[in-house]
Amino acid sequence: MEEKYDYKKLGFKAGLEIHVQLDTKKKLFCRCPVILRTDEPDFYVKRFFRPVMGEMGEFDKAMLREFEKGLTIIYEGYNDTTCSYELDETPPFPLNEEAIEIALMICLLLNCNVVDELHVCRKNYLDGSVPCGFQRTIYIGGGGYLPINGKKISILHVYLEEEAARKDDKKSKGKTVYYKLDRLGIPLVEIVTGPDMHTPQEVVETAKRLGTLLKTTGKVRRGLGTIRQDINVSIEGGARVELKGIQLLDMIPKAINMEIRRQLELIKIKEKLKERNIKPEDIKENFIDVTQIFQDTKCKFLKKTIERGEKVLAVKLKGFGGLLGKEIQPNRRFGTELSDRVKAYTTLKGIIHSDENLPAYGFSEEEIKKLFEQTEKGENDAIVIVAGEENEAKRALKLVIERARTALKGVPEETRQVKEDGTSSLLRELHGQARLYPDTDTPPITISKNRIEKIRTNLPEYPWDMKKRIIKEYNLSNEFAELLIYEGLASFFEEIVKKYNLSPVLVASTLFQTLKALHRDGIPVENLTQEHLRKLFESLSHGMFAKEAIPTILTLWAKKPNQELSSILKEAGVLAISEEELKEIIQKIIQENMNLIRERGTGAFGPLMGKVMSKVRGRIDGATVSRILQQKIKEALHSD
């Protein structure tokens, strides 16, 4: 059951970082098309990375952590959609003007002050996601706000930057990581809010409103992964923690509450260590080689480690006894925090610690006794074991010591990856400003007042204003209006209704209820584009089929999206018939059912309507069928 908190009492505050890909034809710093590939690459390029100092002459700590991993990066490229800029072999092309225009528009929609000159900066990354080792980013503006329920959520910064390369998890293994270059360079806007949200629901509402605003511009890409929201969370006595990887709005409250629980538990651990009078100098880097103890162990992975000639090292954490086993999130303990750090920054799989059930690993009582004796474990102490290549194992234990010392301060500032259950694991330490410095490859770009005013006078309608207008103008329900706006289909809806003079309810119900029902039945409606739907509604307005045929047509077309609509209509057997053809069909059915008509009179309408519709459904409007059938039944009764 999800926990609830008194957020005001906890001093909870949160801010959002929204990243959204722009719907441009070309990439930000080159002229490659925006296409994600699924086929095998044409070539591979191997790279290694080293850190560089920022503008202030300092190395970013999180960047150094990435460097210490010693990764080998292999990039996957394509002859027809990858260029020399993406491989960091040539300087960047002039900035994509289409992307600048969209970024300026978004900045103005958020009531921001736009800078009068754009300067490209470099933001260091050593995880391999950018071949040149840095992401190019441009500050567009800030000092804006987003209205939410009578409150203004501050917009601190708006950036235009290039998307990173796409990690190939299937091929990546150990210290060798593969990245696809197809996503690299897609224009991206990053929006940073102030820490102005004080409940999880406020975070949800802000994320939804920002996402809706971006979608209704019609200038951002849609689909999984094209818009990402990171949440900066903190409580009184805790620290700012960035939660990444939250794709669904419904996950936000769960992830936030899980992080609050984690921070509260870490604060309790801090207090316990204070109660035990543990100081940083008590947590020593006294690494002990305990390989000999486990020479004949029944623990399989330790045995294999030793057989490879690698080491088993241990360290004592004074005063941490019972704390490594303390649960800080469901199925995650403080020992998991130490293990996460080892997994994040080394090639080792994790740690073993004395708060665990050691016999379950296959350790004998004798081995455990010798381990505790050799490490001089006291009653309130904990022992951590790592196994692997000696230098890597020592580096892992240094990370353990470092994290243990941080526990004395409480909650460390981190970037954490949110999992499906709402819990999170360490991704990296929070990046600082030391990794940001000017780019010398692109000259400043002047943004004139005339350009700003031209964009300002053509800003799209705010979605909350659009919703009110759509409900009033088209007599739609609140639900349909919200869906049209949230799904970014409002402009398309209005185009179809006005251009083809169709019923607003029919168009809206087709876009949502019909397509949703078909998707639920396993029909691949994702194959249908707006162009498919545009042709469908155009043909309907020309009377080529009846509205009742729409589900049948969409079902078949979704399975054969490359076929022309005319052939789909023929195959589905829904080509429209004239009233004269309908009268002939009805007359034949009347003649075959005269006994029923004599027996029931006008009451025969129901059964006969079913018979007629089974032959003409989707080929002519049902109201027309009803009118002519009633007329023909009356004529039959009169002539009889």
Of 214, 233, 231, 230, nearest to 222 by C-alpha is: 214
d(CA 345, CA 61): 12
Q: How much of the chain is in helix, strand and coil states, percent to nearest 5?
A: 45, 20, 35
Mean pLDDT of 550-577: 89
Q: Can you give the pLDDT at residue 232? A: 97
Closest C-alpha among 345, 195, 343, 326 to residue 256: 195
* pLDDT grade for 51, boundaries at 50, 70 and 90: low
CA distance 635 to 640: 8
C-alpha to C-alpha distances, 56 to 287, 305, 382, 435, 511, nearest whole angstrom = 35, 44, 40, 9, 54
Burial of 148 (0-12, 13-18, 19+ CB in 10 A): middle
pLDDT tens string 215-230 = 889 899 987 778 889 9
Secondary structure string (H, E, C) spanning 242-261: EEEEECCCCHHHHHHHHHHH
pLDDT greater than 80 at residue 333: yes
**CB-CB neighbours of 639 under 10 Å:** 6
Q: What is the overall mean pLDDT for the chain? A: 91
**Token pair in block for residue 57:** 């002459």
Residue 262's H or E segment, with its range, is helix 251-275
Domain ranges of the chain: 7-240, 275-412, 463-572, 579-639
As beta bridge partners, residue 462 has none
Mean pLDDT of 187-211: 96
pLDDT of residue 615: 78
Range with the poorest average pLDDT among 142-146, 293-297, 559-563, 584-588: 584-588
List, in order, residues 6 or more apart from 591 with CB less than 8 Å away. none
pLDDT at 293: 95
The more confidently predicted of residues 603 and 151 is 151
Residue 67: which pLDDT band, with cuts at 50, 70 and 90? low
**pLDDT tier at 464 (50, 70, 90 boundaries)?**
very high
Q: What is the pLDDT of residue 471?
A: 96
Interval 350-379: pLDDT, tens: 999 999 999 999 999 999 999 999 999 999
- Residue 396: what residue type? A
420 class by beta-carbon count within 10 Å (0-12 exposed, 13-18 middle, 19+ buried): exposed
Is 345 a residue whose pLDDT tops 90? no
All residues at 6 or more sequence positions from 210 whose CB lies less than 8 Å from its CB, including other chains: 16, 18, 146, 191, 193
Residue 203 has a pLDDT of 97
pLDDT confidence of residue 2: 54
Strand, helix or coil for residue 352: strand
* Structure tokens that stand for 111 in this block: 């009531």
User: Taking residues 438-464, what's their average pLDDT?
Assistant: 94
Distance, CA of 380 to CA of 321 (rounded, Å) = 4
pLDDT at position 1 = 42
pLDDT tens, position by position, 254-264: 999 999 999 99
How far apart, in whole angstroms, are the C-alpha atoms of residue 383 and residue 400? Answer: 11
- Candidate CATH numbers 3.30.1360.30, 1.20.950.20, 3.90.550.10, 2.30.40.10; the one for domain 275-412: 3.30.1360.30
Asked if pLDDT for residue 429 goes beyond 70, the answer is yes
Residues 201-218 have pLDDT tens digits of: 999 999 999 999 998 898
Percent of the chain predicted with pLDDT > 70: 95
Give how far Cα 100 sits from Cα of 137, 217, 379, Å.
Answer: 12, 14, 63
Going by C-alpha positions, the residue among 608, 610, 506 that lies closest to residue 551 is 506
Name the residue among 330, 324, 343, 288 with its Cα closest to residue 404.
324
Q: What is the pLDDT of residues 78-89, one digit of tens each?
A: 999 999 999 999
CA atoms in the 13 A half-sphere facing the CB of 555: 14
Distance (Å, rounded) from C-alpha 119 to C-alpha 440? 10
Nearest CA among 82, 73, 95 for reference residue 34: 82
DSSP-assigned states of every residue in 421-478: TS-EEEEEEPP-GGGEEE-SSS--EE--HHHHHHHHTTPPPPHHHHHHHHHHHH---H
- Rounded to the nearest 10°, the torsion over CA 168, 169, 173, 176 is 30
Query: Locate tokens 């409480």: which residue?
Result: 410
For 553: left if phi > 0, alpha if psi spans -120 to 50, otherwise beta; the answer is: alpha
pLDDT greater at residue 426 or residue 2 = 426
For 587-640, write each residue's pLDDT tens digit: 888 888 888 888 888 888 888 888 877 877 767 777 887 888 888 888 888 776
Question: What pLDDT score was predicted for residue 347?
Answer: 85
Question: In which residue are the tokens 């690993």 written?
Answer: 361
Secondary structure (DSSP) of 273-307: HHHTT--GGGS----EE-GGGGTT-S-HHHHHHHH
Mean predicted confidence (pLDDT) in 112-136 = 90
Which SS3 state, helix, strand or coil, does residue 129 take? coil
Contacts of 415 (CB under 8 A, 6+ apart): 62, 241, 242, 244, 426, 427, 428, 429, 430, 431
Encode pLDDT of 488-545 as tens digits: 889 899 999 999 999 999 999 999 999 999 999 999 999 999 999 999 999 899 888 8
